[in-house]
A and B are shown apart, each in its own frame.
Chain A
Amino acid sequence: MEALTRWSLRFPAATLGAVAIATLLMGAGLLRLETDVGYRAFLGADHPQVQTLDAFLERFGGGLPVIIAWSCERTPACESVFDPSALMMAYSVARSLAATPGVRRTESPATSALLVPDAQGFSVRRLVENGQPVGDRAALARRAWIDPFWRGALVSPDGMVGAILLELASSDSASSIRIFAELERVLAPYRTRGFTFHLVGGRVDFVVAAGELESATRRLIPVVVAAISIVVWLLFGSALGVGATLASTGLAALWTLGALGWLGWPQSTLTQTLPPLVLVVGTCDGIHLLARFASETAGGTGATRAARVRALERVSRDVGMPCVITTLTTAGGFLSFMASDLESFARFGVAAALGVIAALLLTFSLLPLLLATLPAARLPRSGATAAWDRALLALVAAAGRRSRSIVVVSLALALLGGLGFAQLRVDVSFEDLYGEQSRIVQWVRFVETHLRRPETIEIELRLPGGELAIDPAAIAQIERSSAFLESLDGLGPVHSILEPLSWIHRLVENDDPSYQRPAESRRKNAQLLALLTLDDPQRLSPWITLDQRRVRLSAEASKVPQERLSAWMKRIEAHVANDLPPEWGATVTGAGAVIHAMVNEIQSTQLRSFALAAAIDLLLVGLFLRSARWAALAMVPTALPVVLTLGTIGLLGVPLDVGTAMVATIVIGIAIDDTVHLLAQYRRRREAGLDRADSISKAVAHVGRAVITTSAALALGFLSLRASPWHSVASFGGVAAIAIVVALVADLVLLPALLLLGSAGRMLEGKTGPPTDSPDPGLRSTAVMSSRRSTRNG
């Protein structure tokens, strides 16, 4: 870092040119950046559960349609779904959307077929015929209420809520965004007439969520910037210093997003936190540099540029290596997410690591350049150094006096936290992810209340060669499996091919309700299905494949805790394994199964990445301090806040969500930074011959202010994420902020207590003693003075 700083100061034009080129390049990457949210973005397109669901949707086209629901309650727009104004709205919207590229098929109360028995058989009727609402709407409405194709799908049981269903040709982001824009355009005139629409369904959810995500990010960044600015300004009293620091980290954040664009990785829920995260974490190195620079230039020693350049070179030498190590530990923490099978976590980890490394490089190149160029009067000031020193030294002294009590209390807290840590559980739903205020959640709630529940667990049953799903034996098995699913508390009703098959059977048999069941032979069932297919074969594609050897059972699922979901999945898997004929195959999928997989992956990611991050920290700190014991010592005040914070969450029985599940890994990578800075200074003084008490006192005096400032900036920065409407982002920010504060306390209280704990401290330090040569002549003189003072005291 010292070389980088020196080069930057020597070649300012080249440095600025290089930064400008990199910024332009990464800015171009920003133009390629897309946003993607939802299960595919979260789990990754290659995740087995995603591929299973994709293949399932491929086979059963329209399996998870987009729902456009509206209500005729409390609106002058319509009196019921069967009202002419509502029907004409549905007709116009459905027809318009059907002609939209990318829309495979539409269903609506105005355009979908109603099979109505008549004297000669049955008529295929529609509520809008030849462009006009039909006269016998009341009779057709009565039919719609009992038609399995309609009830709960196109119209609510009370006839007050209607729905248009869209089957899309593709789930890729571009076409989803285009169709959503068309949807908005088509619905706009009806909104002005008093219709309120509720859009539900994977693709639309994702587009709306992406829009909310982008606007939330736009609102969040100024809050984070303000929080950091206040902290830096309060500590250094220099607006230009604040600007220079933010310029460096701001560029790092921009580069990070640009890198995402060049890598072809879309913005996701997780990467939304990247800009604020890079700003917050990246600022820490800048604060260390600013703090040392303020000390070095205190008393007007930075009056000339040459003096400032020399000071900056010294500062870079002093804090450069610790900053490299702390950045590497932080980056290591982020990179540990690569151990996750979740693509979103892995990408987030890589991008965040790139971001903090970019921030480090800019902190030791651009920031010194700006500081060297600033007018002397605007330089960061050291401020009330004496007061800071007194307070910090008092704290260290107190820790030294009560080291045993502090260690015992910390141990007890760690044990308690460990107990809670073991009880941690993850519970995730997309609604929790988006937050209660999200339109998506409110729309889902509306549809759940009035129509079928959009969240489902799906089972695909595969029959062996020679058997068809319309065989009586196969139908009996489908009925048994449906009954089993409905026996699970909170699951059901179950929809399958049996519904349309039974309905057409009834119609063929003169609308006799006793025939509302499958027929008793394969041939009869084949002809019944062919009859349905003759009019609108796509009606069956959600339920049975063309070769009639694969069928779908779709169980509506209530929103249940993860434990219940897990229990369902186990029982369903047992049913599939034990109760199906041996030659049959089955696949369990659907939104419920995806959430189940997602939670399992998050739990496994949490454990793996936390362990990996801790190992990386241990390794890097061990290498830097050249001592495994010192590395182990550094881990104590680092791990304690994580265990304590998350342990408390566990003890309170609050489940982790996507955001808080990341806290442990990220915080352990960040919290160790202050410990490393303190230990680096402590070790340097020990090697210079100071005793332990003096070494820790002087180390705290040397970097304590920067440590407090960085922690304050981190805590405030994370806390500002609470402003996000996205629940997972907000909860991550809150918990991370608390953990950072606890880490600061641990660094300033527990670490000194451990180091000053008599034999324990000696054991922790190992064989470290006064060095034969000190790296810093200044420290050697301090050591001599300390030795003299000890002698005098002695």
Chain B
Amino acid sequence: MAERSGWICLCLLTGLIGPIVGAETVDSSLSPTTETPRDVVPPSARQILIQALVNRYELDARASVEITITGKSGDTTTRRAEVASKLVDGQIVSFGRFTYPAEMRGMTVLRFQYADRDDDFWIYLPEFRRVRRMSAALRSDMFIGTDAAFEDVERRQIDDYRVELGPSEEIDGEPVWTVRARPTYDSGYERVVYSISKDDSTILRSYHYKRGAEEPFKVIETPRATTEKIGDHTVPRRATVRNLERGTRTDIAVTRILVNPELDDQLFTLRSLGQEREMPRYDKLEPSAARSDIEAPHE
């Protein structure tokens, strides 16, 4: 897999599925297609994390997602959106349109992620027929009313972290590496501990810690039972972000996903935002490489 200047995530809404730590030039021996024998000399923490990220995020995608946010007192709100993300001219661009609730239907977000400056958000408000630009917020701010932070979903470089290998553990009987990653940038976290499958480099869990804390304040989990093998990638279909301090949680379900489809660059423009351009239909899309069109089990 390639030398992409960055990885492509299911930014915006799909980006919530997991914490994203950036890639660097990836050694081909660490590509997801390469078997990683468990019982030989263990790879370094850096190699493990890179492999996990490559496995999970280096893809264009078109997906349907449902996000359910539960407040501390048990009140909930659900949002559904159709999203697409693509690498366009070296930039990761994400396009997401809300389909539910009715009041938000048609509200659309276009996000440009830059390696060297703050991201740009463009929002279309159908009731006002206006497009408005918003600059990015603090990395530790919550993201779209969820328990994920911007820094959980934005583009990062592996060099943004100091990583070290922790003890091997098991999650539901599955052996995992634990990798401790300490942000070197101005982060809302002191450290993140990733639990990465030894079998296929899937990130099954991440614990997020504040300064000096022994207990995490945020936990992101992607149960093994909900992951899907799509081509070279293992994609989580469900994820839960729990903010233990706030007592809130966000459940994300990818109800449908198409990996590496042929997405028209014109979708990712301000013009299409203002014109309420239709989202590309799944049956009209052709995958550019490994293709997978999987619908989630009926809810």
Contact = CB atoms under 8 A, between A and B. Distances in A.
B63 interface: no
A391 interface: no
Nearest to B105: A523
Given A123-B134, A533-B145, A547-B76, 11 more contacts: A101-B211, A123-B133, A124-B136, A519-B127, A526-B101, A527-B103, A534-B109, A535-B137, A536-B137, A536-B141, A546-B77
Interface string B103-145: 1100101000000000001110111101111111110111011
Nearest to B109: A534
Interface string B182-223: 000010111000000000000000000011110101000000
Given A58-B72, A101-B213, A169-B246, A121 B131 contact: yes
A149 to B, nearest CB: 14
Contacts of B72: 58-59, 61
Interface stretch (A92-100, A485-493, A621-629): A92-100
A531 interface: yes
B75 interface: yes
A523 B137 contact: no
Contacts of B104: 526-527, 530
A58 B158 CA distance: 38
19 contacts: A59-B72, A95-B186, A99-B189, A99-B210, A101-B217, A120-B133, A123-B134, A124-B135, A470-B103, A508-B125, A521-B127, A524-B128, A530-B107, A531-B125, A531-B132, A533-B145, A534-B121, A534-B123, A546-B76
A122 B127 CA distance: 18
Q: Interface SS of chain B: helix, strand, loop or mixed? A: loop
B103 A545 contact: no
A766 interface: no
B71 interface: yes
A527 B77 contact: no
A99 B211 contact: yes
Give the 3 A-B residue pairs with the shortest CB-CB distance, closest first.
Answer: A121-B132, A526-B103, A537-B145
Interface string B87-103: 00000000000100111
Nearest to A522: B103
A341 B77 CA distance: 39
A234 interface: no
Contacts of B107: 527, 530
A96 B190 CA distance: 11
B283 interface: no
A122 B132 contact: yes
A533 B132 contact: no
A59 B186 contact: no
A104 interface: yes
A589 interface: no
B144 A533 contact: yes
Interface in B38-82: 69-73, 75-77
A96 B131 CA distance: 36
B264 interface: no
B76 to A, nearest CB: 6
A645 to B, nearest CB: 48
Given A121-B134, A124-B136, A526-B103, A101 B75 contact: no
B2 to A, nearest CB: 31
Nearest to A528: B125
B35 interface: no
A157 interface: no
Contacts, number: 131
A17 interface: no
B245 interface: yes
Contacts of B75: 59, 545-547, 549-550
Interface in A18-48: none
A535 B131 CA distance: 15
Interface residues of B, number: 50
A123 B133 CA distance: 7
Given A102-B245, A104-B245, A131 B76 contact: no
A102 B213 CA distance: 9
Contacts of B189: 99
Interface of B: 69-73, 75-77, 98, 101-104, 107, 109, 121-123, 125-128, 130-138, 140-142, 144-146, 186, 188-190, 210-213, 215, 217, 245-247
A123 B125 contact: no
Nearest to B68: A546
B191 to A, nearest CB: 11
B133 A546 contact: no
Nearest to A510: B130
A125 interface: yes
Contacts of B132: 120-122, 508, 531
Nearest to B71: A546
Given A524-B128, A526-B101, A527-B127, A537 B134 contact: no
Contacts of A536: 137, 141-142
Contacts of B138: 111, 126
A121 B19 CA distance: 30
Interface string A493-525: 000000000000000110000000001011111
A558 interface: no
A52 interface: no
B73 to A, nearest CB: 5
Nearest to B270: A120
A508 B71 contact: no
B200 to A, nearest CB: 33
A517 to B, nearest CB: 14
| Residue of A61, A95, A120, A535 contacting most chain B CB atoms (<10 Å) | A535
Given A101-B217, A121-B133, A536-B142, A546 B69 contact: yes
Interface in A73-117: 95-96, 98-104, 111, 113
B210 A101 contact: yes
Contacts of B141: 535-536, 538
A55 interface: yes
Contacts of B142: 536-538
A55 B247 CA distance: 13
Contacts of B144: 533-534, 537
Nearest to B134: A124
A536 B136 CA distance: 10
Contact of A55 (B73, B131, B146, B188): B73
Contacts of A113: 137
A549 B101 CA distance: 15
Interface string A164-187: 000001000000000000000000
Contacts of A547: 75-77
| Residue of A95, A121, A537, A547 contacting most chain B CB atoms (<10 Å) | A121
A124 B145 CA distance: 16
B253 to A, nearest CB: 18
A140 to B, nearest CB: 13
Contacts of A521: 127
A122 B130 CA distance: 12
Given A111-B138, A508-B132, A536-B137, A527 B126 contact: yes
A525 B142 CA distance: 21
A103 B144 CA distance: 20
Contacts of A123: 133-135
A107 B98 CA distance: 29
A59 B137 contact: no
